[in-house]
Amino acid sequence: MATSLEGKTVVVTGAAGGLGKAIAKGYLDAGANVAVCDINDERLEQVRSEFGPTSRFLAEKTDITDEAAITKLVENVVAKFGRLDILVSNAGMTDKFDPVGSLSKEHWDRIINLNLTGSFLAFKTAVNTMEKQSPPSGTIIQIASTSSWHGLSAGAAYTASKHGVAALVKSTAGYYGPKGIYSIGLQVGGMPDTNIQDGFAALGGFNAEAYAMSVSANFKPEQAIQLKDVAKYCVFLGDRDIAASSNGSMITFAKNHPVA
């Protein structure tokens, strides 16, 4: 039986392309009201054109590392749709595979600021909004990674950021779960169809020596995770009973690569 989320409102960060866009489409197809944010103007225009016109969709340019900006986004969502039921914290970027000894502080700050601090600000804004609803309720889904538990799937900065979001999920689940606000992480494996090459380009390439030592170097096409399948799982977690049962979980979604 397909999950219907008619009347529910979802925010997906970093969702004008790649995985976020696929997740947003999954929620739209399930009947939800969906808001996406991104910092890429061109992709935002493209997703507006592709998903619109519909009264159930909103796309706004938002820097999630700016607390005022993410707060304003959620205020606009609530003003348009009346509430916030689900946050998918998806925005993030890869690193250069640098180990700690050759990692620049500039790159460390950039990755941590977006992947971890950006997630923190999205979580903070979401729980404060969800607590005010009557009754308090909501679900937060963090897009995590095999790097949330494995040390050589990426570089030191990305690995630290994704371990950090796992802690954020667990802490949020423990405190807010009894209040009806659930927090779950998806430790997603390799997804070649995301915008990962853009991330490498933005950072000036990647560390080939460190990459060769990572499990990513042994990645095979048949191990690729399909964006549509992650989207299906996010919709599945839109069921309040499933979300309650999964509260605090870091769910590995990686075709057993790296081997558990």
List, for residues 166-207, the tens digit of each pLDDT value: 999 999 999 999 999 999 999 999 887 776 656 556 667 788
Number of Cβ atoms within 10 Å of the Cβ of 229: 15
**Which comes out higher in pLDDT, residue 260 or 153?**
153
Q: How far, rounded to the nearest angstrom, does the alpha carbon of residue 111 sit from its chain's CA centroid? A: 14
Q: Which of 21, 162, 182, 232 is catalytic?
A: 162
Our answer to whether residue 211 is catalytic in this structure is no
* Encoded amino acid at 214, one letter: S
At residue 201, the pLDDT reads 64
Residue 75 sits at the vertex; the CA angle it makes with 71 and 79, to the nearest 5 degrees, is 170
Q: Which of 158, 176, 182, 233 is catalytic?
A: 158
List, for residues 136-160, the tens digit of each pLDDT value: 999 999 999 999 999 999 999 999 9
At residue 77, the pLDDT reads 98
Nearest to 95 by CA among 18, 206, 197: 206
**Residue that has been written with the tokens 């304003």 in this structure:** 72
Query: pTM for this structure?
Result: 0.95
| Stretch (H or E) spanning 227 | helix 227-236
DSSP conformational letter for 14 = S
Residue 160 CA to residue 145 CA, distance in Å, equals: 11
Residue 249 CA to residue 183 CA, distance in Å, equals: 8
Our answer to whether residue 162 is catalytic in this structure is yes
Quick one: tokens of 196? 């990962």
